[in-house]
Amino acid sequence: MFAGHRVATCHGVDEARRVLGEAFLPVEFPTASPSGHLGLELNAVSTGRLTLGYMRFDRAVRLRTAEPDNYHVDIPTAGRAVLRAAGGRRVDATPWSGGVFMPGRPVDLDCGDGFAQIALMIPRAELQRELEDLLESTSVARLEFDAELDLATGGQVVLQAVRVVDEASRREDGVLQHPLAVRNLERSLVHALLLSQGHNHSEALRAPVPQSGGRAVARAIELLRADPGRDWSVADLAATTATSVRSLQEGFRRALDTTPTAYLRRLRLERVRTDLVAAGPGDSSVTDVSARWGFTHHGRFAAAYAERFGERPSDTLRASSGR
């Protein structure tokens, strides 16, 4: 995971402490001697405000983190560990079960031989802001996740979002250099966590949605069509059209049998096609054009394009270059 973004391969305790502190947060190895062997492999990549990484230890090791400022998600991929946040319950980390940890609570990790995990670090303000947008309130109590992440159910949604980021990070065409693409990746991962993992606001997110008037939907459509390249969130649209997030989503569902996000994606597909048709020989590539309009997963983009227009994007570009 994130193999193209190797941070370090180190054996000593001091070096492992340094690289983990620089990538995520300060850690200590309370039972390891300064000359002890750890065999740490660490990969890490940042997408906007989020940090994602992969770490693996050759040998059994104990870690104790400093008090974190952010939310941390640990997704084991090999081996086993016992994770426990200060004042929290024990989490048995396996490839079927991970952990979600809160700001302000140090975590102890007791890792077995060959333990490996994906690590996510999400700023507190980012999660709180997205939660407030979904709940349509600026006075939302601090977010408290359930400690255990079930990778057989809701955790799979989070893992799928991580894999999309991993794929984007492996590409050599600069997808992660496009701000719109990065923001889409960021938002999809945060929403996956908020909507699939249990927390103290889960019931509120599942509450019935009030109806939205047709005028708000019509105005939102005008805004999207006028500027599909803008980094629109549903919260932005709702605020601009003087309605609530979930009301607007319900209005799109009733009026168009779609969502604001899916409608915007369709508009951006149309803009991609316009740019491909207008491209001259050697002007640009399919990947450049699709990333410009926020598409980061090439396979899914190509499939959506073919379904929409009845041909592959490369065929469109090839035909326009031929002309």
Residues 6+ apart with CB under 8 A from 159: 75, 118, 151
What CA–CA distance (Å, rounded) separates 115 from 113?
6
Return the pLDDT at 19: 95
What CA–CA distance (Å, rounded) separates 319 from 323?
6
Return the pLDDT at 294: 86
The full DSSP string for 215-255 is HHHHHHHHHHHH-TTS---HHHHHHHTTS-HHHHHHHHHHH
What CA–CA distance (Å, rounded) separates 239 from 234?
9
CB neighbour class for 53 (10 Å; exposed up to 12, middle 13-18, buried from 19): buried
pLDDT digits (tens, 9 = 90+) for 273-291: 999 988 876 677 888 888 8
pLDDT of 71 higher than 90? yes
Q: Which ranges of 122-200 does DSSP label H, i.e. alpha helix?
A: 124-135, 155-170, 179-196
pLDDT digits (tens, 9 = 90+) for 130-175: 888 888 777 789 999 999 999 988 889 999 999 989 988 887 766 7
Return the pLDDT at 136: 72
What CA–CA distance (Å, rounded) separates 153 from 192?
12
| pTM, full prediction | 0.73
- Alpha carbon of 150 to those of 54, 73, 91, 280: distances in Å? 19, 12, 11, 50
Mean pLDDT is highest, among 41-45, 125-129, 285-289, for: 41-45
Both tokens of 73, joined, read 């998600």
Region 302-315: what's the mean pLDDT? Answer: 91
Region 68-72: what's the mean pLDDT? Answer: 96
| pLDDT band with cut points at 50, 70 and 90 for residue 60 | very high
pLDDT-wise least confident of 39-43, 45-49, 94-98, 123-127: 45-49
What CA–CA distance (Å, rounded) separates 38 from 249?
50
Strand ranges for the chain from DSSP E:
6-12, 27-28, 37-47, 50-57, 61-65, 71-78, 81-85, 90-93, 97-101, 107-111, 116-122, 148-150
What CA–CA distance (Å, rounded) separates 284 from 282?
6
pLDDT digits (tens, 9 = 90+) for 201-258: 999 888 766 555 678 888 999 999 999 988 888 888 988 988 888 888 888 888 888 8
Q: How far is CA 12 from the centre of its chain?
A: 32
Q: Which helix (H) or strand (E) holds 308?
A: helix 298-309
Return the closest-CA partner of residue 259 out of 227, 212, 316: 212
Higher pLDDT, 108 or 247: 108
Give the chain's mean pLDDT: 89
Return the closest-CA partner of residue 267 out of 240, 299, 230: 230
Region 260-279: what's the mean pLDDT? Answer: 91
Region 3-27: what's the mean pLDDT? Answer: 92
The amino acid sitting at 246 is R
